[in-house]
Amino acid sequence: MIKHLRSAGDLDAATATLILDTAAEMAALSGREVKKLPALRGRTVVNLFYEDSTRTRISFEAAAKRLSADVINFSAKGSSVSKGESLKDTALTLQAMGADAVVIRHSASGAPHRLSNWVDGSVVNAGDGTHEHPTQALLDAYTMRSRLGRLDGLKVAVVGDVLHSRVARSNVLLLSTLGAEVTLVGPPTLIPLDVVAALSKTTKVSYDLDSVLPDSDVVMMLRVQTERMQDSFFPSAREYSRRYGLDVTRMRKLPEHAIVMHPGPMNRGMEIAPEVADSPRSTIVEQVANGVSVRMAVLYLLLGGK
Amino acid sequence: MAQPRADAPSKIILAGSDLHRVVDRIAHQILEKTSGATGTVLLGIPTRGVPLAHRLAARIHAFEGVEIPVGSLDITLYRDDLRLNATRALGKTELPAGGIDGLRVILVDDVLFSGRSVRAALDALKDLGRPSSVQLAVLVDRGHRQLPIRADYVGKNIPTALSESVKVTLTEIDGADEVKLIGGLK
Amino acid sequence: MAYLIKGVSILGAEPTDLYISDGVISAPVEGAEVIDATGLVALPGLVDVHTHLREPGREDAETVETGSRAAALGGYTAVCAMANTSPVADTAGVVEQVWRLGREAGLVDVQPIGAVTVGLAGKQMAELGAMATSAANVRIFSDDGFCVADPKLMRRALEYVKAFDGVIAQHAEEPRLTEGAQMHEGEVSTRLGLTGWPAVAEEAIIARDVLLAEHVGSRLHVCHVSTAGSVEVLRQAKARGIRVTAEVTPHHLLLTDELAAGYDPVFKVNPPLRTRTDVEALRQALLDGVIDVVATDHAPHAVQDKECEWAHARPGMLGLETALPIVLSVFGPRWDLIADRMSIAPARIAGLEGHGGDLTQAGTPANLTLVDPAAQRIVDPAELASRSRNTPYAGMTLPGRIVATFLRGEATVLDGKAVK
């Protein structure tokens, strides 16, 4: 097993599959009355969050607590971090506290890599800048596998702001490793020229959502931040929504079995219509539940052994 | 615990039909001790306890026509030696539809040795429900207990040295039915 | 003090004896101190047209004295100190202060560069004439760290400095194309999720500036050229007879953007490390003379400015003590090329008389350095004379050791150690 989970690229197919299989067992166990498991008793997991992300933090917190780990939430707000303490000094503090794992969310790409130089424990990337969010990709893959029964050969369209999306990067890396065929869809301004060479040679790029939908098993809508408009990535929310938003008419172009995913939080009416988000094809609520199981699996596999 | 080397000498203790007769005997003993195995659930401990539990249920059904629910109970997350080894993959935990509350649970494993696996199984069981009683069935008891645990049903007692190991293979998993004693022999 | 440098090979020629007395290369004299230079190569003292000495303002990262020592140990006898200090070197007072500190240190000639605009803000021209006529005798003006992006202001600056034979050294970076930029825009930046610094942001400014220089008939110097596209623009400009010179850094001749993969900001620099294709083009351009000089862009940074997240780190690398070994490792012992690109041409661009002279001629000011090309060393940041430690070459084995350096006949380095 790997020591850190900083990038979905850290995972080979066997390790990624082991995580998904372990998550399936964790999910089965979480259906029972006593949800707590003793595997990480006496281990300390620190949630080091430099960005507000209640949903990701509570997901990791629930995962660690169900495995009986001690959880310390270290939020950048109201701590020494907000007084200008460096990441390195914070790392040394956590090290002194005996953190066995640090789950880090940070606005700077690569912060988990830096942190892993300064602590002995495992580092789990819970989202770094515009780089990666590997546990999101794992829970997305888990959701696809449980809905559609496989990942190998699955056709997945990832739609939206690929340039700034850590979810997109991790998903392309992980899904390619697991044999899915990814097509990135969006305006050319938001799909870097080098994305195929950078992430996966098997990935395709399209600027036309309508032509991609009929041949997709999964369509994953990325959150589009409206501040991108000010930076001339696209002219208006209305135009974006018309060209790349998933509404009911577009959803009908999908094959019968296809599912619709969104990592959240959603801009209803922008990249996804409310009727689509609430349709039976949507896995958005499931994704949240699966997040806990996947993060339990990751924490167990990183910390469960010697 | 020291493992015998891969090229260490080995001796077959049970094979094929001998092993089947041992399973039959345990099945008979269960029927006898539980007055016909009513209100009983068999839970195999992965990996090889699970097919053994299914075999016992099948034999009990063949002898008396009783259907005993069978499940599996993975103990990995409850082991006390997790941190001494590389991370272990999880096995399956599957309880029968009727659950285990108020029933007699018979844990089934291949080899009883230190007793630590059984202790972990008892802990795991406690988080899953409240059986009326718990019993233990093992194919082989090789001795050297480190905890106050004993089996209710033993297929075969094999006195061993600590330097030896006992290896059970089953057709369902390994392609052959065998119990081997490895190492220690000249 | 007189020296006899015995058995030295001047620019790789047959070994000979070289006498130094009264600060110049001289005929044989009695009582000279003998330096056994068997196996050593003499080069005219190296000249760096692009050095950050950080004083005044960031003396925790470097001072004129520590930077001078690093320079002497690197074989330099003159360095041009960039203007982005605090306060900015945009007045006669500040450039004279830096110049005086250099004289006091006495290890290399420290030639201040003046800012083009007040506070490097790109809005209002600084008092270039006052700096030119100050004791510091400033000839190169640069807002380095920032681009003079306003085309009108750039045009005026190019024109204005003609009055005192000045030159504008442009940091070519179109600021709107590099907002938030962290590294070269390409495959690696896409993978790492770091905002890209596109090559075109450099090339567009160089293209604009060579046309402006042509239009007003002025000299232009381009700092730290980093892309293959820039090389093509410069090649065409020179073919048209435009008076442009250009520099390349040792790190852009050797390192690539792949080094960002571990997010260690020791590899963060502006302009950023580019691709293998760019490195090859820059090497060829230096050979062809399209790029005139190697300049270090020596940029010391305090530990806390590098031991942090990539995006929060300051850009820049140490360069003075490793420049010659890097150039040797890239081009081999091509001494005439090295002397031209690292001493003669930079001295000419900076207008530094007495540097880059002919060592075979008696009367040439004795600014020279002795190199052992057979020696190798492993770069250890802790051993560097710079006050900072941000070398990207830590752990690398590099050829060539600077054995001695002389500034106007006085040894600044002997036996590989600074004399003071």
pLDDT per residue as tens digits for the range B71-107: 999 999 999 999 898 888 999 999 999 999 999 999 9
Indicate whether B1 pLDDT > 60.
no
Position B155 confidence tier, pLDDT thresholds 50, 70, 90? very high
Residue A106 in domain: yes
Length of chain C: 420
Chain C residue numbers touching A197 (CB-CB < 8 A): 187
- Give the domain C45-356 fold: TIM Barrel (3.20.20)
Q: Compute CA distances A8 → A2, C239, C382, whole Å.
A: 11, 49, 36
CATH code of the domain covering residue B129: 3.40.50.2020
Residues A55 and A116 in one domain: yes
pLDDT in tens, C340-383: 999 999 999 999 999 999 999 999 999 999 999 999 999 999 99
Q: Is the peptide bond prior to C271 cis by the omega test (within 30 degrees of 0)?
A: yes
Query: How many domains is chain A partitioned into structurally?
Result: 2
pLDDT at A74: 86
Question: Are A126 and A224 contained in the same domain?
Answer: no
Evaluate whether C114 touches C131 at the Cβ level (below 8 Å): yes
Handedness of CA C345, C346, C347, C350 (dihedral sign): positive
Rounded Cα–Cα distance for residues A150 and B38 (Å): 41
Is A80 or C25 the better-scoring residue by pLDDT?
A: C25
Percentage with pLDDT > 90 across chain C: 100
Instruction: Classify strands B40-44 and B10-15 as parallel, antiparallel or unpaired.
Output: unpaired
Distance between CA atoms of residues C303 and C313, nearest Å: 10
Render pLDDT for A152-175 as a digit per residue (tens, 0 to 9): 999 999 999 999 999 999 999 999
Per-residue burial over A225-250, b if 16 or more Cβ lie within 10 Å, else e, is beebeeeebbeebeebbeebbbeeeb
Q: Tell me which of C184 and A229 has the higher pLDDT.
A: C184
Quote the CA–CA distance of B19 and B24 in Å, as a whole number.
9
Helix and strand numbers (H, E) in chain C are: 12, 19
Report, as an integer, the average pLDDT of A230-240: 90
Residue A205 lies in a domain: yes
Residue C307 is nearest to which of A88, A108, A132, comparing CB atoms? A88
The amino acid at B117: S
Q: What is the pLDDT of residue B184?
A: 67
- Choose from A29, A43, A302 for mutation: most chain B CBs within 10 A: A29
**pLDDT grade, residue A305 (50/70/90)?**
confident
Task: With beta carbons less than 8 A apart as the criterion, state whether A1 and B86 touch.
Answer: yes
> Average model confidence (pLDDT) for chain C?
97
Question: How confident is the model over A256-267, as a mean pLDDT?
Answer: 93
Active site residues of C: 297
Let me know: does C385 contact C399? Beta carbons within 8 Å.
Answer: no
Mean pLDDT of the C290-312 span: 97
The yes-or-no verdict on residue A264 having pLDDT over 80 is yes
The amino acid at residue A79 is S
Helices A134-148, A284-303: inter-axial angle, 10-degree rounding: 120
Can you give the CATH number for the domain in which A222 is found?
Answer: 3.40.50.1370
Give residue B138's Cα distance to chain centre: 4
Chains near A (3 or more Cβ pairs under 8 Å): B, C
Answer for the pair C285, C234: CB distance below 8 angstroms, yes or no: yes
Our measurement of the distance from residue C134's CA atom to the centroid of its chain's CA atoms, rounded to an integer in Å, reads 23
Kindly report, residue by residue over C47-91, the tens digit of the pLDDT. 999 999 999 999 999 999 999 999 999 999 999 999 999 999 999
Instruction: For residue B3, tell me if it sits in a domain.
Output: no
Determine the Cα–Cα distance for residues B143 and B152; give it in Å rounded to an integer.
14
Closest Cα in chain A, distance from residue B21 (Å): 34
Q: How far apart are CA A204 and CA A157, in angstroms?
A: 9
Q: Look at residue B6 and tell me whether its pLDDT is greater than 80.
A: no
Place of tokens 């995006």: C311
Query: Residues 6 or more apart from B40 whose CB is under 8 A from it?
Result: B30, B34, B68, B103, B104, B105, B106
- Tell me: is residue A223 an annotated ligand-binding position: yes
Looking at the predicted structure, is the pLDDT value of residue A190 above 90? yes
The helix (run of H) or strand (run of E) holding residue C170 is strand C167-170
Query: Residue A211 has what pLDDT?
Result: 97
Q: B157 lies in a domain?
A: yes
The number of helices, as runs of H, and strands, as runs of E, in chain B is 4, 8
In angstroms, the Cα distances linking A261 to A214, A217, A280, A286 are 16, 11, 11, 10
Average confidence (pLDDT) over C29-33: 94
Question: Are A78 and A191 members of one domain?
Answer: no
CB contact (8 A) between residue B74 and residue A22: no
Contacts of A14 (CB under 8 A, 6+ apart): none
Per DSSP, what are the bridge partners of residue A125? A104
Counted residue by residue, chain A has a size of 306
Secondary structure E strands in C60-147: 76-81, 109-112, 140-141
* Alpha carbons A222 and A266: distance in angstroms, whole number: 8
Q: If you compute the radius of gyration of chain A from its CA atoms, what whole number of angstroms results?
A: 19
Burial class (CB in 10 A: 0-12, 13-18, 19+), A158: buried
Taking the Cβ of residue C232 and every Cβ of chain A, the question of whether any pair is shorter than 8 Å is answered with: no
Domain-located, residue A256: yes
The order of strands in the sheet holding A155-159 is A204-206, A181-185, A155-159, A218-221, A259-261
Nearest-neighbour CA in chain B from A53: distance (Å): 29
Q: Is residue A3 part of a domain?
A: no
B55-73 pLDDT tens trace: 999 999 999 999 999 999 9
CB A217 within 8 A of CB A257: yes
- HEC per residue, B40-94: EEEEECCCCHHHHHHHHHHHHHHHHCCCCCEEECCCHHHCCCHHHCCCCCCCCCE
* A and B touch per CB criterion (3+ pairs under 8 A): yes
Q: Write the residue in A88, A108, A195 that is nearest to C311 by C-beta.
A: A108
Cβ contact A86–C304 (<8 Å):
yes
The phi and psi torsions of A157 (rounded to 5 degrees) equal -100, 125
Position A2 in a domain: no
Residues of chain B with C-beta less than 8 angstroms from the C-beta of A39? 76-78, 82
Cβ <8 Å between A38 and B85: no
Contacts of C196 in chain A (CB under 8 A): 192
Euclidean distance between CA atoms A209 and A249, whole angstroms:
12
**DSSP H helical ranges for C263-409:** 276-288, 323-331, 335-339, 345-350
* Average pLDDT value over all residues in chain A: 93
CA pair distance B175, B55, nearest whole angstrom: 15
Chain A interface, mutation test: which of C191, C264, C305, most A Cβ atoms within 10 Å? C191
Whole-angstrom Cα distance, residue A217 to residue C382? 57
pLDDT at A177 over 70: yes
Distance of alpha carbon B128 from the chain centroid: 19
Same domain, A163 and A246: yes
- Say whether pLDDT at B40 is over 70: yes
Closest partner residue to A88 among C189, C192, C308, by Cβ?
Answer: C308
From A204, A198, A190, select the one nearest A240 (Cα to Cα): A190
How many whole angstroms separate alpha carbon A35 and alpha carbon A37?
Answer: 7
How many contacts, defined by CB atoms under 8 Å, are there between A and B? 55
Burial of C100 (0-12, 13-18, 19+ CB in 10 A): middle
Residue type, A160: G
User: Which of A281, A223, A300 is closest to A53 using CA atoms?
Assistant: A223
Cα distance between residue A125 and residue A117, in whole Å: 14
Annotated ligand binding at C84? The verdict is: yes
Contact of C312 with chain A, judged by CB distance below 8 Å, is answered with: yes
pLDDT of residue C402: 98
> How are beta strands B153-157 and B133-141 bridged, if at all?
parallel
Same domain, A197 and A213: yes
Cβ count near C56 (within 10 Å): 17
**A144 backbone dihedrals φ, ψ, rounded to 5°:** -60, -45
- Asked if B163 and B134 touch (Cβ cutoff 8 Å), the reply is no
Q: Three-state SS for B107?
A: strand
Residue A77: the pLDDT is 65
The greatest distance separating any two alpha carbons of chain A, rounded to the nearest whole angstrom, comes to 56
Look up the domain containing A207 and give its range. Answer: 134-284
pLDDT computed for residue B186 by the predictor: 46
Look up residue A141 and give its amino acid. A
The beta-carbon neighbor of B77 closest among A21, A38, A302 is: A38
SS3 B135: strand
Q: Taking a C-beta distance cutoff of 8 angstroms, is the pair A160, A186 a contact?
A: yes
CA C145 to CA C89: how far, in whole Å? Answer: 13
SS3 call for C180: coil
DSSP element (H, E) containing B20 = helix B17-33
Q: Are C190 and A198 an interchain contact pair (Cβ–Cβ within 8 Å)? A: yes
Q: What is the mean pLDDT of residues B123-139?
A: 95
Domain that holds residue B74: 10-81+89-182
- d(Cα C157, Cα C160) in Å, to the nearest integer? 5
The total number of structural domains in chain B stands at 1
Domain identity same for A13 and A82: yes
Q: Angle at CA C259, nearest 5°, toward C221 and C387?
A: 65
Q: Is the pLDDT of residue B185 over 70?
A: no
Length of chain B as a residue count: 186
Report yes or no on B43 lying in a domain.
Answer: yes
Does residue B2 lie in a domain region? Answer: no
Vertex B78: Cα angle to B75 and B80 (nearest 5): 115
| Nearest residue to B142 (alpha-carbon basis) of B129, B153, B130, B158 | B158
Query: Which chains touch B (3+ CB pairs under 8 A)?
Result: A
- A87 contacts chain C (CB < 8 A): yes
